[in-house]
Chain A
Amino acid sequence: MNYTKKLLAETGLEPERLEMFFLSSAEGVRFAEIATEMTERARKLGPNPLKNGKAIEQPMEAEE
């Protein structure tokens, strides 16, 4: 997780856009909280700068 955050930072994206949470199957409330938190975080950070244009509409590349 930290490694991927480092990769994001190196690339030029905010590492805060990524997070890991631990929770059990009984924590429905916690899940809703986390979902809200991450949505709020994204709202604060603004749109992913990679999103502009048609770029994201492209299908996954074939060589994958």
Chain B
Amino acid sequence: MIVAEQKPLEEIKSMIADARKVLVLGCGTCVTVCFAGGEKEVSILASQLRMATRLDGQEKEIRELTVQRQCEYEYNELAADHVRDADMVISLACGIGVQTMNEQYPEKLTVPGLNTSGLSQPTEQGVWEERCQACGNCVLHLTGGLCPVARCAKSLLNGPCGGSQRGICEVYAERETPCVWDQIYHRLKDLGQLDKLLEIEPAKNWHTSRDGGQRKIVREDLRL
């Protein structure tokens, strides 16, 4: 899922400095399940902002609302009255939600309350680890189901590099990130497919990823 983290309160406060009526708008999908921008986080931030702005002597009216999915017009339509009523919107959705809101309500500025931080897997309660970088040309079938693009610090396709130390990646070694190429080796060994590693993977065509500019999917079969 898309995961995000809330920005520091100070940063959020400075974004809304000029507004008097502010709507905190959450999203009920990815950021709800990663505890960053659901109904509860919206209420907590709204309460903090009400108190903090009152303490600063410039009390603001802070409203709260959470829509099911902020990256789709249909859901945001339900927020129309609240948006009209506010001077500014703080979105607790991922960057897609923030942009959808700005596009849909061009007369109001929607600012980001979160930092969108990856496509991750919740690996234990309170921990999210990045798993995919949406490279547009998946190689998981070659690597035993472990992604070297997102999980190798150098995104190597023919790893490991010389810095793999007892299963730990040399990049920010103090974080003790497992070397994914070490993991790939062990997985393929378990699967009896070590021969796959003998094949040299040619340089990846990154045009399907960010290097080709903004990507767009058009499905003619689905269009109206």
Contact = CB atoms under 8 A, between A and B. Distances in A.
A and B touch in the complex (CB under 8 A): yes
B48 A10 contact: yes
Contacts of B51: 11-13, 50
Contacts of B44: 7
B143 to A, nearest CB: 38
Contacts of A55: 54, 59
A57 interface: no
Given A7-B44, A7-B48, A12 B55 contact: yes
Given A49-B55, A55-B54, A11 B48 contact: yes
Majority secondary structure of chain B interface residues (helix, strand, loop or mixed): helix
Interface in B127-162: none
Nearest to A4: B44
Size category of the binding interface on chain A: 10 to 19
A63 interface: yes
Contact of A63 (B48, B55, B64): B64
Interface in A1-21: 7, 10-13
Nearest to B49: A11
Majority secondary structure of chain A interface residues (helix, strand, loop or mixed): helix
Most chain B Cβ neighbours within 10 Å, of A7, A11, A50, A64: A11
Contacts of B56: 12
B158 to A, nearest CB: 44
Given A63-B63, A63-B65, A10 B54 contact: no
Interface string A1-45: 000000100111100000000000000000000000000000000
A10 B51 CA distance: 10
Interface string A44-57: 00000110000100
A50 B63 CA distance: 18
Nearest to A3: B44
A50 B65 contact: no
Interface in B35-59: 43-44, 48, 51-52, 54-56, 59
Interface in B49-80: 51-52, 54-56, 59, 63-65
Interface of A: 7, 10-13, 49-50, 55, 63-64
Interface of B: 8-9, 43-44, 48, 51-52, 54-56, 59, 63-65
Please list the 3 inter-chain residue pairs (A to B) with the smallest Cβ-Cβ separation, ordered nearest first.
A12-B55, A11-B52, A11-B48
21 contacts: A7-B44, A10-B8, A10-B9, A10-B48, A10-B52, A11-B48, A11-B51, A11-B52, A11-B55, A12-B51, A12-B52, A12-B55, A13-B55, A50-B54, A50-B55, A55-B54, A55-B59, A63-B63, A63-B64, A63-B65, A64-B43
